[in-house]
Chains A and B, each alone.
Chain A
């Protein structure tokens, strides 16, 4: 690893991933394929049409614990790139993260009795449905509103989606984590439990950053732009 410990425009893109593996997810969700060569972060971003300041802002959310972007940093950020990132994250969660978790849970409960199987699966699929509905709301109401503000086409009749409540879904995921960690029937597949926990912990951490970007980055930028009109 290089001497640098924070993401920067001049570091090599490959070193960014060495710095923090979570950033590989950020890169791919930004539509950057994994073949970094010796390019710097600035070069990679330019080549793929991503604003480098916005990209670094998102990287900082992942790398720096308790990160609080300054007003100056928010001012420079590209709203379109942020919305694109959040949208791609939703797709990743539904198409990959939750599918991995589902398959681990399936393996885990496979040896269990029928009623245990059903109740665990029901809890997970209810959670998944709730999450999907929440994402859909953001896709249909919150993101278009943000884009509208950007394009100065006033679409203010949309619902006020800023700072919505994520707490119930966070609680359910935490419950699933505790249930899997503490109370699974003894015949459950141990490898399945391990994989399920791995995916739950990874997902939980990613969602936390995702919510932070929505509430502490997207929402203030939109409010700021609205106030400017």
Chain B
């Protein structure tokens, strides 16, 4: 199934040109064209949005990600925009780009958005800390699931996330982590 693209491009010439490129090369399909973002995305659920920054209100232009947090967003550089404006986008398409270059840029933007594992610099959530404490105390997944009234599957997902965030895999290692971060004290692990 081809990926859907929404164009936020007020210039009909440019919008039609882009539509034609995507139609010629397949892979992507333009699912809608709007001239600005004032009406929001309505019911359109695109995978990619291509925006002409000049179509946006200055406030929106300065913070595109706030309006479009969940999709890959590329800028169509109709005018010269400063670096701060363009660096918010997942890619920048130039007016003189070859059709294959446009496709390549859209692909790269999508990939950068769908990269698994999100940024790694996250702290443990409260629930993850609770589960980490149980693991460090030597509780089994089943016991943890029963304690918090969640499924074993959810416990396992939490444990995977704890390991992804901390880089620590073994129960013994997680116990050290819990003690170093003062989540539990030594007495609760020494039998």
What residues make up the interface of A, taking CB atoms closer than 8 Å to B?
Answer: 115-116, 118-120, 123, 126, 168, 171-172, 174-176, 178-179, 182-185
16 A-B pairs with C-beta separation under 8 A: A115-B186, A119-B175, A119-B186, A119-B189, A120-B176, A171-B173, A174-B167, A174-B169, A175-B170, A178-B166, A178-B168, A178-B173, A179-B168, A179-B177, A183-B181, A184-B180
B167 touches A182 (CB 8 A): yes
Instruction: List the 10 shortest-distance A-B pairs measured between CB atoms, nearest first.
Output: A175-B173, A178-B167, A115-B186, A171-B169, A119-B179, A175-B168, A183-B180, A123-B176, A171-B170, A119-B176
Closest-CB distance, A70 to chain B (whole angstroms):
34
A179 touches B173 (CB 8 A): yes
Question: Given A115-B186, A119-B186, A179-B176: A172 and B170 within 8 A (CB)?
Answer: yes
The interface residues of chain B lying within 8 Å CB-to-CB of A172 are: 170, 172-173
The interface residues of chain B lying within 8 Å CB-to-CB of A174 are: 167, 169
B172 contact from A115, A123, A178, A185, Cβ within 8 A? A123
A116 touches B179 (CB 8 A): yes
- In the assembled complex, the Cα of A71 lies from the Cα of B13 at a distance in Å of 65
What residues make up the interface of B, taking CB atoms closer than 8 Å to A?
Answer: 166-170, 172-173, 175-177, 179-181, 185-186, 189
Closest-CB distance, A187 to chain B (whole angstroms):
12
The interface residues of chain B lying within 8 Å CB-to-CB of A120 are: 176, 180
The interface residues of chain A lying within 8 Å CB-to-CB of B173 are: 123, 171-172, 175-176, 178-179
A119 touches B180 (CB 8 A): yes
A115 touches B185 (CB 8 A): yes
The interface residues of chain B lying within 8 Å CB-to-CB of A168 are: 170
Can you add 18 more A-B contacts, CB < 8 Å, to A120-B180, A178-B166, A178-B173? A115-B185, A119-B175, A119-B176, A119-B179, A119-B180, A123-B173, A126-B172, A172-B172, A172-B173, A174-B169, A175-B167, A175-B172, A175-B176, A178-B168, A179-B176, A182-B166, A183-B166, A183-B177
Closest B residue to A120 by beta carbon equals: B176
- In the assembled complex, the Cα of A173 lies from the Cα of B25 at a distance in Å of 50
The interface residues of chain A lying within 8 Å CB-to-CB of B168 are: 175, 178-179
Closest-CB distance, A189 to chain B (whole angstroms):
15
- In the assembled complex, the Cα of A126 lies from the Cα of B176 at a distance in Å of 12
Closest-CB distance, A145 to chain B (whole angstroms):
30
Closest A residue to B175 by beta carbon equals: A119
